[in-house]
Amino acid sequence: MLYQIMLSEKQQVWLRRHLKSGIIVGVILAGGLLVVGIRADNWAEWTGLGKGETTSISTVLKRDADGRPVETETKTTQPGKTLWDWLGLLGVPLTLAILGYVFQQQERYRAETLKEQDQYRAEILARDQREIAANEAKEEILQAYFDRLSSLLIDKNIISLATNSQYLVGQKELLEASINVIRARTLSILRRFEGDPEKINSVIRFLRESEVFSKANLKLDEADLIGVNLKDADLREIPLSKADLKKANLARADLEGANLEGANLTRANLAGASLEGANIKEAYLMEANFARANLARANLAESGLAGADLREAFLLQAKLTRANLRRANLTQAICFKVNLASANLEEANLRASFQEANLEGANLQRANLAGALLEGANLQRANLQGASLQGADFKNIKWDDATSWPNTDEVAKAKNIPEDLKQQQGITDTPLP
């Protein structure tokens, strides 16, 4: 219909609703007229279902040929008003009234819509202005930070002092005080700029290029960064040992080569982060999110990873000796040549690739190894009691008499079981996978 082409979807809905109301009003009026006709006892004639005629007699005085007055009666028959006639008479004003009401409501709706649009545009403009003002304020703070640190580095000659092995009187104290000031200001500005990776990366880049990290030995050790938002930040090779990063957002952050030894990353979000070669030894990583993170060659020895999410993580040659991975999720993780010697993997989900992995002495009690690829893995002295081995691939594994296996039925569910293991377990017919 034409109105559907000309009007928006919301207007069409609104117009259909009001047209429906107008039709209902018209039907009620027509019904009222019908009731009036019935109560008037002229149903048949009034509705046009009877003969529907009206006769009128008029007397006219005329003169005949002799000039004498003669009365002449004239009968005139006219059709009666039918229901359709009355509806026709009422239909035009009723239609005009309904259309007038509809268009009045439409104009009201249009005015309200325009008002709402104006308010929305005003809110967007105000929000943009606030964002611009906030960004300008951040730029001023950042510039003040750069100016202050530049002045400190140049006026006090901090880099030169830091690289000297001998100090004059008071120079060592000056260097330590200056580094403490830089550290405090840096931690403060990281907090202020959290959630703004562009500003954070500018700060880190300035410190890196001015050699404050490498030569002045600036460290962010033991820093209080609980819940900080450093998403997408460039934190390569930053010293953060024993820093408190509990519940911090480090998603997709670049932490390649970073020192996080002993750091608290409990429930931190490191999804998609790059931690290649990072030192995360003895860190607290309970329930941390490492999904799709790059942990190649990272040192996670003796770390607490209980309940951690390591789904699809890349753990090439990662070191996890004596790490606590109880109930951790390593589904589809790449653990090629990973070192899990003496690690606790109790009740962990290990449906992943452990090719040539070192699981010597690992605790795999009640672990889920269903579908895991363990080709060439070292399972000597490992404890697999109660583990699920459905479809696990044990091709070319290394094991010894100290290896504890689950019951024979469970071992028989695995693939490529070594012949000597089958003989020890009394397995005569390994079912097809």
What percentage of the chain exceeds 70 in pLDDT? Answer: 77
Q: How confident is the model at residue 256 (pLDDT cuts 50, 70, 90)?
A: very high
What percentage of the chain exceeds 90 in pLDDT? Answer: 44
Answer yes or no: do 107 and 38 share one domain.
yes
Answer yes or no: do 96 and 170 share one domain.
no
Instruction: Point out which residues pair with 62 in neighbouring strands.
Output: 70
Considering 218, 244, 271, which residue would you say is the last residue of a domain?
Answer: 218
* pLDDT greater than 90 at residue 428: no
* pLDDT greater than 50 at residue 270: yes
Answer yes or no: do 98 and 132 share one domain.
no
The residue ranking higher by pLDDT, 41 or 265, is 265
pLDDT at 111 (0 to 100): 87
pLDDT at 77 (0 to 100): 62
Answer yes or no: do 86 and 161 share one domain.
no
The residue ranking higher by pLDDT, 162 or 287, is 287
Answer yes or no: do 186 and 88 share one domain.
no
* pLDDT greater than 50 at residue 155: yes
Answer yes or no: do 20 and 105 share one domain.
yes
Least confident of 71-75, 235-239, 262-266, 382-386: 71-75
Q: Can you tell me the mean pLDDT for 376-385?
A: 94
pLDDT at 343 (0 to 100): 93
pLDDT digits (tens, 9 = 90+) for 94-108: 777 777 777 888 888
| Residue span of the structural domain in which 36 resides | 2-52+81-117
Least confident of 100-104, 140-144, 278-282: 100-104
Q: How confident is the model at residue 8 (pLDDT cuts 50, 70, 90)?
A: low
Considering 218, 250, 275, which residue would you say is the last residue of a domain?
Answer: 218
The residue ranking higher by pLDDT, 318 or 114, is 318
Considering 218, 242, 276, which residue would you say is the last residue of a domain?
Answer: 218
Answer yes or no: do 186 and 163 share one domain.
yes
* pLDDT greater than 80 at residue 35: no
pLDDT at 362 (0 to 100): 93
pLDDT at 4 (0 to 100): 44
Answer yes or no: do 45 and 130 share one domain.
no
Q: How many domains does the chain have?
A: 2
Establish if 133 belongs to a structural domain: yes
d(CA 69, CA 67): 6
Q: Can you tell me the mean pLDDT for 292-302?
A: 97
Q: Can you tell me the mean pLDDT for 3-24?
A: 58
pLDDT digits (tens, 9 = 90+) for 384-420: 999 999 999 999 999 999 999 999 999 999 999 999 9
pLDDT at 40 (0 to 100): 52
Establish if 24 belongs to a structural domain: yes
Average pLDDT, the chain: 83
Q: What is the pTM of this model?
A: 0.67
Instruction: Point out which residues pair with 349 in neighbouring strands.
Output: 329, 368
Q: How confident is the model at residue 175 (pLDDT cuts 50, 70, 90)?
A: confident
Instruction: Point out which residues pair with 269 in neighbouring strands.
Output: 249, 289
Answer yes or no: do 158 and 205 share one domain.
yes
Q: Can you tell me the mean pLDDT for 176-187?
A: 89
* pLDDT greater than 70 at residue 2: no
What is the Cα 126 distance to its own chain's centre?
26
CA distances from 64 to 71, 72, 204 (A): 10, 11, 128
pLDDT digits (tens, 9 = 90+) for 307-357: 999 999 999 999 999 999 999 999 999 999 999 999 999 999 999 999 999
pLDDT digits (tens, 9 = 90+) for 195-246: 888 888 899 889 888 888 888 888 888 888 999 899 999 998 888 999 999 9
Establish if 172 belongs to a structural domain: yes
Answer yes or no: do 86 and 193 share one domain.
no
* pLDDT greater than 70 at residue 184: yes
pLDDT at 118 (0 to 100): 87
pLDDT digits (tens, 9 = 90+) for 47-57: 544 445 555 65
Establish if 224 belongs to a structural domain: no
